Amino acid sequence: MNFVAACELETSDWLNTDQPVSLGALRGKVVLVEAFQMLCPGCVSHGLPQAVRVHRTFDRDDVAVIGLHTVFEHHGAQGSREALAAFLHEYKIPFPVGIDSPSNRSGIPQTMARYGMQGTPTLILVDRRGRLRKQKFGLEDDLVLGAEIMSLIGAGGETSPAGDTRNAGSRRFG
């Protein structure tokens, strides 16, 4: 079975991190990218809280959670770094968040366009080898997501048999 490589993120800025983050640098980990807009009700009520739960549940050696602010509407209201920073502060978002690079030709930012995202929230899972394994627009079930993430944790872990939860994807409780 062949999977496509996940497109690298095209970002103009990063928050909650000293260094910009890239999928390339996260090779070897499972990556959850949560694409959101701060003014999107579904992102605020479901997508982002779910991404925070993933960030708190899985070992950071196995799973990296990244937010991606994919502003495609109300650019004036939510397009600035200042607005995003205030939002991340108030909602206590703990993981790195990149600002999807605006496009010169359209209101759709570049990473969003590359991935052909339908809107927000969009949840993306990338495996340890940098391949795109899931892209879902809308809400996802925690039970399904936990299973999918563990499935990707298990793959490519030579020293951690999927059946032994203590070696693979051990959980840290927040």
Q: Which residues bind a copy of itself (CB under 8 A)?
A: 1, 39-41, 44-45, 50, 53-54, 57-58, 73-74, 76-78, 80, 82-83, 85-87, 89-91, 127, 133, 141-156, 161-166, 168-169, 171
Helix%, strand%, coil% for the chain, nearest 5: 30, 20, 50
Closer residue to a copy of itself (CB): 44 or 114: 44
- CB neighbour class for 137 (10 Å; exposed up to 12, middle 13-18, buried from 19): middle
CA angle 23, 61, 169 (to 5 degrees): 110
Closest approach, Cβ 163 to a copy of itself, in A, equals: 2
Closer residue to a copy of itself (CB): 114 or 151: 151
Closest approach, Cβ 150 to a copy of itself, in A, equals: 4
Burial 54-89 (b: 16+ CB within 10 A, else e): bbebbeeebbbbbbbbbbbeeeeebbeeebbeebbe
Closer residue to a copy of itself (CB): 91 or 116: 91
Closer residue to a copy of itself (CB): 24 or 163: 163
Identify whether the C-beta of residue 67 lies closer than 8 Å to the C-beta of residue 96.
yes
Closest approach, Cβ 131 to a copy of itself, in A, equals: 9
Closest approach, Cβ 165 to a copy of itself, in A, equals: 5
